[in-house]
Amino acid sequence: MTETIRNFVVFEGGDGSGTTTQLSLLERRFRGNAMGLVFHPTCEPTDGPVGALIRSVLEKKIALHPLALARLFAADRAEHLYGPGGIIERSGRGELVVSDRYVLSSLVYQGIECGDELPRTLNAPFPAPELLLFFDLDPQTACERLKNRPALELYEHLEFQQKVREKYLSLIGEYQKSGGRVEIIDASKSQEEAAAEVWRVILKMPILKTGR
C-alpha cells in the first residue's frame, strides 16, 4: 500500500477482539459529541452483494475454495473503496470514515489459507488508511468470548486464531517499518477502558485537532 487516504481509519484484530463493539461505542461517542464532522462507520465484508456472498461462506452456508474467497474479499474491498458512497468519496469530502477490517485482514487470514503471494498481489493496489488500530488479544481469551455467540464462523477456532495473532504481529511490524501509522489497543481491558483508549487515539487525528 503506497498512497494514504486521509480521514480513513481501520480497526483490525483477531475474531473476538472486540473491533465491532468498539466501532459502535465510537459511533455512540460521536453521536453525543459530533464535533462538527460526519462520522461514517463501515465494515468488511460489506453489506453489498459481494459482501453478502462472503458472509454466507463465513457462516458455512456455502463452501468456496480459499483461492476464490481471497478474490471475493478483494472485489468487495474495491467496491467499498471506489463505489458510490464509498470510502474514497466520503473521506474525500471530509467525513471521518472508520472501517471494521480492511487490507490487513486479507493479508493475515488469506495469507494463512493461501500463502502470502496471492493476497499481497490482490491488495497491493489499494491505498493505506491514515491510521490503523490493532486490537490485541490473547487468542485463548478471544475464543472464550466467542463461545457466547450463537454459532461459530469459518475462522473462529483456537488453532486458526493463534496463527492469526502471530501473523498480525509480524505484518504490523512490517507495516510500521514501511511508514504505516499503527496504535495498539490492549483488548484484554474492559470495553469501557478500551473505548477510552480508542477515543484518546482518535482525538489526536488532524481532522479532529484542526477541524475541516
Which positions lie near ligand TMP, rule CB under 6 A?
Answer: 15, 44-45, 58, 73, 100-101, 105-106, 109-110, 153, 155
Distance CA 9, CA 101 (A): 10
Minimum distance from CB of 18 to ligand TMP (Å)? Answer: 10
The residue among 84, 75, 9, 7 whose CA lies nearest residue 42 is 9
Distance CA 129, CA 8 (A): 5
Minimum distance from CB of 33 to ligand TMP (Å)? Answer: 26
Nearer to ligand TMP, 149 or 212 (CB): 149
Nearer to ligand TMP, 90 or 163 (CB): 163
Nearer to ligand TMP, 14 or 202 (CB): 14
Nearer to ligand TMP, 43 or 205 (CB): 43
Q: Which residue is nearest to ligand TMP (CB)?
A: 109
Q: Residue 172 to residues 64, 94, 203: CA-CA distances in angstroms? A: 28, 27, 22
Minimum distance from CB of 112 to ligand TMP (Å)? Answer: 9
The residue among 88, 95, 104 whose CA lies nearest residue 182 is 104
Minimum distance from CB of 163 to ligand TMP (Å)? Answer: 12
Nearer to ligand TMP, 80 or 90 (CB): 80
The residue among 41, 52, 112 whose CA lies nearest residue 76 is 52
Minimum distance from CB of 184 to ligand TMP (Å)? Answer: 18
Alpha helical stretches, state H, the chain: 19-32, 49-58, 66-82, 87-92, 103-105, 111-114, 117-123, 139-146, 158-177, 191-202, 206-210
Distance from the Cα of residue 104 to its chain's centroid: 7
